Amino acid sequence: MTAETLAHLMKQSNRTVVLTGAGMSTESGIPDFRSSTGLWRNINPRIVASTESLQKNYEQFREFYQTRMNSLNNCKPHEGHLILADFEKRGLVSLIATQNVDQLHQQAGSKNVAELHGNIVTIRCQKCGKPHAKEQFLNNSICTYCSGKLRPNVVLFGETLPSEAWDRTLHEIHQADLVIVIGTSLEVYPVNQLPSMSKGKLVYINREQTSTSLHYSFDLVLEGSAGKILADVYQELGDFEK
């Protein structure tokens, strides 16, 4: 059961959805959350990444996201992101539904991307919702229009997912005959429900099996680094396109 098997499944599939998590970005230098070196090993997400933190300890909330936003300046898409964008161009992937907030899929050239957890690249006022420049959040400004608190367009713990991204993903998942899950522990609801909503074949690419992933009956599990496995699949596919 190898990259060759996945390449074969992709050739057979008419609609393939890719679901990515933080493990898709670690090779670009962005830490994930729950592996041994993950962000949540040292930080309690409720204190820095929840609606409660936005309301009750805004300075800590703002500092956490300023740090994460600044660290993105040194990160760029890795080979795995570029390969997924190429697969989209060749009609091999119809949608990337991502939990990641770094927009590396878009930077790599993927056009059809659903940001299920929003992003930390764009900013809005928490009170009036008006968009603001990233620099205004980074230099501790308040809302130009209502003096409200500025915040990134990321989905915080306690917030609902953006309906457009969720609905688009649901639509594609229901039509998909192949769902490739890459670099996610599948610990977070409701995204972790998506694989079981598909009638198609399920593939899991992850550095390790997680307590949650073992609950799914994946048709194929490829343990290893996302970048390396995607490069192997790319090799197996040659110049095949739909």
In whole angstroms, give the CA distance from residue 107 to residue 123.
18
Residue closer to ligand APR by CB (options 16, 185) is 185
- Separation between Cα atoms, residue 196 and residue 194, nearest integer Å: 5
- Residue-wise DSSP of 66-111: HHHHHHHTT----HHHHHHHHHHHTTS-SEEEE--SS-HHHHTT--
Q: Give the shortest CB-4-to-ligand APR separation in angstroms.
A: 19
Residue nearest ligand APR by beta-carbon distance: 23
Give dist(CA 128, CA 119) in Å, integer: 19
The residue (of 91 and 224) whose beta carbon lies closer to ligand APR is 224
- Angle value at C-alpha 104, between 66 and 81, nearest 5 degrees: 150
* Length reported for the chain: 242
Summarize as ranges the residues that interact with ligand APR (CB under 6 A).
21-23, 26-27, 32-35, 38, 45, 99, 117, 183-185, 187-188, 206-208, 210, 225-226
Considering beta carbons, is residue 46 or 242 the nearer one to ligand APR? 46
Minimum distance between the CB of residue 96 and ligand APR, rounded to whole angstroms? Answer: 13
CA pseudo-torsion sign 181, 222, 234, 119: positive
CB of 52 to ligand APR, least distance (A): 15
Shortest reach from residue 208's CB to ligand APR, in Å: 5
1, 234 contact by CB (below 8 A): no
Nearer to ligand APR, 183 or 200 (CB): 183
Please check if 143 is assigned to a binding site: yes
117 counts as catalytic: yes
- CB 6, CB 168: distance < 8 Å: no
In whole angstroms, how close is the CB of 109 to ligand APR at the nearest point?
20
Q: Which amino acid is at 79?
A: E
Residue (142 or 231) nearer to ligand APR, CB: 231
Q: Is 128 annotated as a binding residue?
A: yes
Q: Is 75 annotated as a binding residue?
A: no
- Which among 78, 81, 117, 132 is annotated as catalytic? 117
Instruction: Give CA separation, 123 vs 55, 93, 120, 155, 238, in Å.
Output: 16, 29, 7, 12, 41
Active-site positions? 117
Annotated binding site for Zn(2+): 125, 128, 143, 146
Annotated binding site: 125, 128, 143, 146
